């Protein structure tokens, strides 16, 4: 039986994608060892019962992340987390790969694209390695073009004009402005550990045996076509969660879901609610919180807002009475929502999102138009594609102003509601087609499963 070692980044978004892939592979009778940090494992145990459901074929293997328990592990300390993990994980991974008993020999490793140390270890031991990059392909393609942008003098930016068009990314001509590149391009400090990580990733990607992406041909055909020139073996198998029956999908939340929002949604009219969430890592300031709340309340729309613990610094006492009344009359707030279920609910008519890739895909599958307020990593690129290329919503990038929020909510929920809903429905249909029999993602997933099974035969015969 093939045995795959899956190694995600210890963050909610990548874990969601990798656990979905693990579930799909378990259903194909492939053994999975899922490497996860002790910190995330403790939190996940509260909400996931994957170990119970796939007890024969799925196993967590915990590793320390090297940080003290009380470390906050927020996005601001991401580089610290990566450095620490990079210092402790390689020797553990090497030991795991060399000491596993013969029956459980590893057929291949599937690692996050940022865990570049895994490539060196895999090559050293002679085990195939596939990267699964859980961010958007369009952002990965901008990463891959960074050396070219630097060489052409487009990076670092020569002045402050963020509306200047980017010329040296094939397949994105006429689409990207400076402000649509990943956030770190704005400072492009070559001493920034994040830039170093990304450039290392770009160097390692073509060395792997393949690249798994959570997307589908209809959505990202142009970008995939360009990427294939550098990485000839791409498996575009998304949207991953659509391969599974929704009742089968196991929760992979590291926060406790508050399901009271579903009963609240049940009482609202169809397509009347804006769902607001900035994902698992982003933060907003008090001013930003109040601007968004003002905009939502003035728009007259109903809203369901996820206020993840620590995602905003505002106490109820600091919210003006008029806005508190707005929340009471037309709003619902929870600390963490069952997001896929919320997006699929008939009452939800739009999604004010930070444009994380999981959230974007989940919204696409649910056929819900988006208002994008991107923060970092791939989100600037994703929001540009949502607004300009796929035309599935509006991009609020770099602006957080009550008037703009109100205007955009009105546009999505009233003025252009039918147009946006129709486009969103078409893209949702295309997503569903891609994973059904004969669809592109279905075919790529079949090829991935076959390749993994063949890798097993090769590693066994060595
Ligand atoms: N999510 C959730 N409940 C919430 C907010 C988010 O389950 O209340 C999930 C969401 O469905 C998505 C993930 O958290 O799968 C966030 O990943 P994404 O890539 O969108 O953003 P990130 O958190 O990595 O910035």
Residues 119-168 have pLDDT tens digits of 999 999 999 999 999 999 999 999 999 999 999 999 999 999 999 999 99
Nearest ligand 1 atom to alpha carbon 375 = 25
Nearest ligand 1 atom to alpha carbon 377 = 25
Q: Of residues 249 and 316, which shows the higher confidence score?
A: 316
pLDDT digits (tens, 9 = 90+) for 44-82: 887 777 777 777 899 999 999 999 988 888 888 888 999
| Phi, psi torsion values for 361, nearest 5 degrees | -65, -40
Instruction: Indicate whether 36 and 77 sit together in one domain.
Output: yes
CA distance linking residue 450 with residue 456, whole number of Å = 10
Instruction: Indicate whether 284 and 157 sit together in one domain.
Output: no
Instruction: Indicate whether 198 and 81 sit together in one domain.
Output: yes
What integer pLDDT is reported at residue 53 of this predicted model? 77
Instruction: Indicate whether 279 and 170 sit together in one domain.
Output: no
Q: Which domain, by its residues, includes 409? A: 260-431
Instruction: Indicate whether 451 and 405 sit together in one domain.
Output: no
Q: What angle, rounded to 10 degrees, do the helices at 321-330 and 286-299 form?
A: 60
Instruction: Indicate whether 245 and 295 sit together in one domain.
Output: no
pLDDT digits (tens, 9 = 90+) for 7-22: 999 999 999 999 999 9
Instruction: Indicate whether 297 and 401 sit together in one domain.
Output: yes
Q: Could you tell me the pTM of the whole model?
A: 0.95
Choose the residue to mutate in 10, 13, 19, 304 for probing ligand 1, maximizing ligand atoms within 8 Å of C-beta: 13
pLDDT of residue 249 exceeding 80: no
Q: Of residues 87 and 193, which shows the higher confidence score?
A: 87
Distance from the Cα of residue 92 to its chain's centroid: 26
Q: Give the residue whose CA is nearest to atom 2 of ligand 1.
A: 339
Instruction: Indicate whether 12 and 105 sit together in one domain.
Output: yes
What integer pLDDT is reported at residue 188 of this predicted model? 78
Instruction: Indicate whether 441 and 421 sit together in one domain.
Output: no
What integer pLDDT is reported at residue 460 of this predicted model? 60
Instruction: Indicate whether 304 and 446 sit together in one domain.
Output: no
Q: How far, in Å, from the CA of 449 to the mean position of ligand 1?
A: 27
pLDDT digits (tens, 9 = 90+) for 366-391: 999 999 999 999 999 999 999 999 99
CA distance linking residue 424 with residue 368, whole number of Å = 6
pLDDT of residue 103 exceeding 60: no
What is the residue-averaged pLDDT of the chain? Answer: 93
Q: Is 357 in the pocket of ligand 1 (CB under 6 A)?
A: yes
| Phi, psi torsion values for 261, nearest 5 degrees | -70, -25
Query: For the chain, what is the domain count?
Result: 2
Q: What is the CATH number of the domain that holds 172?
A: 3.40.50.2000
Instruction: Indicate whether 221 and 321 sit together in one domain.
Output: no
Instruction: Indicate whether 234 and 270 sit together in one domain.
Output: no
Q: For residue 86, name the pLDDT band (cuts at 50, 70, 90).
A: very high
Instruction: Residue 30: name the closest of 8, 59, 52 by CA.
Output: 59
What integer pLDDT is reported at residue 187 of this predicted model? 85
């Amino acid at each position: 039986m093939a045995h795959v070692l899956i190694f995600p980044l210890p963050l909610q978004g990548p874990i969601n994608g990798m656990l979905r892939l693990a579930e799909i592979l378990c259903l194909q009778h492939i053994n999975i060892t899922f490497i996860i940090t002790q910190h995330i494992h403790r939190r996940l145990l509260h909400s996931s019962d994957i170990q119970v459901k796939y007890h024969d074929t799925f196993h967590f293997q915990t590793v320390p992340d090297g940080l003290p328990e009380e470390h906050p592990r927020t996005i601001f300390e991401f580089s610290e987390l990566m450095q620490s993990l990079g210092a402790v994980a390689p020797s553990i991974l090497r030991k795991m790969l060399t000491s596993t008993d013969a029956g459980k020999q590893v057929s291949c490793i599937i690692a996050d694209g940022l865990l570049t140390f895994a490539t060196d270890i895999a090559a050293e031991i002679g085990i195939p390695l596939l990267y699964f990059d859980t961010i958007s392909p369009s952002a990965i393609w901008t990463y891959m073009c960074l050396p070219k942008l630097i060489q052409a003098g487009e990076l670092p930016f020569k002045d402050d004009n963020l509306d200047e068009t980017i010329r040296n990314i094939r397949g994105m001509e006429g689409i990207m402005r400076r402000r649509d590149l990943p956030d770190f391009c704005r400072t492009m400090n070559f001493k920034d550990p994040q830039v170093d990580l990304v450039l290392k990733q770009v160097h390692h990607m073509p060395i792997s045996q393949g690249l798994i992406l959570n997307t589908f041909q209809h959505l990202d055909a142009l970008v995939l076509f360009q990427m294939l020139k550098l990485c000839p073996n791409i498996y575009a198998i998304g949207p991953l969660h659509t391969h599974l029956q929704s009742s089968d999908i196991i929760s992979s939340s590291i926060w406790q879901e508050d399901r009271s929002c579903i009963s609240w949604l049940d009482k609202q009219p169809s397509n009347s609610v804006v769902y607001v969430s900035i994902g698992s890592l982003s933060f907003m300031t008090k001013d930003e919180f109040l601007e968004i709340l003002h905009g939502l309340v003035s728009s007259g729309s109903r809203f369901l807002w996820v206020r993840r613990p620590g995602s905003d610094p505002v106490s109820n006492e600091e919210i003006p009475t008029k806005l508190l009344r707005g929340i009471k009359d037309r709003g619902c707030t929870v600390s963490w929502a069952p997001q896929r279920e919320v997006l699929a609910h008939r009452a939800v008519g739009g999604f004010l999102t930070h444009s994380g890739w999981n959230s974007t895909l989940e919204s696409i599958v649910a056929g819900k138009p988006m208002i994008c307020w991107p923060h970092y990593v791939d989100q600037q690129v994703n929001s540009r594609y949502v607004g300009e290329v796929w035309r599935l919503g509006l991009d609020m990038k770099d602006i957080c102003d009550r008037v703009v929020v109100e205007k955009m909510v009105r546009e999505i929920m009233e003025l252009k509601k039918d147009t946006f809903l129709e486009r969103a429905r078409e893209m949702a249909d295309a997503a569903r087609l891609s994973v059904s029999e004969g669809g592109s993602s279905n075919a790529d997933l079949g090829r991935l499963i076959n390749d993994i099974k063949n890798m097993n035969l090769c590693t066994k015969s060595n």
